[in-house]
Structure 1
Amino acid sequence: MERPITGFDRDAEDHWVALLSCGHRQHVRHQPPFVDRGWTQTDAGREDALGQMLDCSLCDRMELPEGAVRYKSTPIFTDITIPKALRREHTTKPGVWGKIRVLDGKLLYEILQPTLQTFTLDRNSTAFIVPEVPHRVEKIRNVIFQVDFLKIPAIDD
């Protein structure tokens, strides 16, 4: 999944790491002749790279970024009180992850893009909502669930 670079940091070994809009971090090492990322070696090069897209395999695997913290939760929904907006295609904001917790019953969770993926969730399963990825939910059987919203503290709206 392509994500824009929002900043840069260095790891413990002093290698450059790109900060992505999803909250993940990705090394952008310059290792010629195998990897040519000379732009990482100057302030101007890194500045020019802001906004460029990098493939985030961690988002592809729906892995929550390290350090993500919950900052709010929805009310508890039932099959009767699920808002129509959640049943339609919608997304979270940049950098905002969701964690669906089914307390009882079953819930259908569909990721609509980049490829359709369908999950049946119950009280023994948890699903993450990747930032800006179109998705929807639908009850399967007398469901009770809640969504927690998480983000990396350094990513501000």
Structure 2
Amino acid sequence: MEKNDFRITYTLSEIAVAAAGFSRLLNEHNVFAFSGEMSAGKTTFIHHLCDVLQVEDTVSSPTFSLINEYHCTINGRPSIIFHMDLYRLKSVEEAINAGIEDCLLGYTDRSKYFFVEWPEIAPELLFMPHLWVRIETLSETERQLEAAPAGKPAQSFFN
């Protein structure tokens, strides 16, 4: 594991604590690609992360809407979280037509954060520096989350 990597193992009853620990990564990154098998807990983890961030809006799965927008305050400034789910898309072209690319082009705005589920569907759209977050099912009640810098260049956006 590299020094910039993040790893945490948690039970489902500890997910809020795991999300609180993970939230400090928002000080350095604003684009997060959440990967993992079906039912690994990507949406659930993002929901708890949004709770930690005191999101003002109702947090729900964007499986059918593709992009949900939430408002909160991060690092003392009004911020917008774009929660995207690419699961239903079949190609990069579909992702572009659905507005995923246009939304991600806002990554240079420090008040915008992007949580992308199923990034494997259109990895070409994640050209910017981001954290690749892998959630693995260890047992029925235990998960391991690993996050590592990715993108070109693989460095922190906020440095």
Q: Which structure's CA Rg is the greater one?
A: 1
Larger helix share, 1 or 2? 2
TM-score by length of 1: 0.28
TM-score by length of 2: 0.28
Q: Which has the higher contact order (CA 8 A, sep 6+)?
A: 2
Larger strand share, 1 or 2? 1
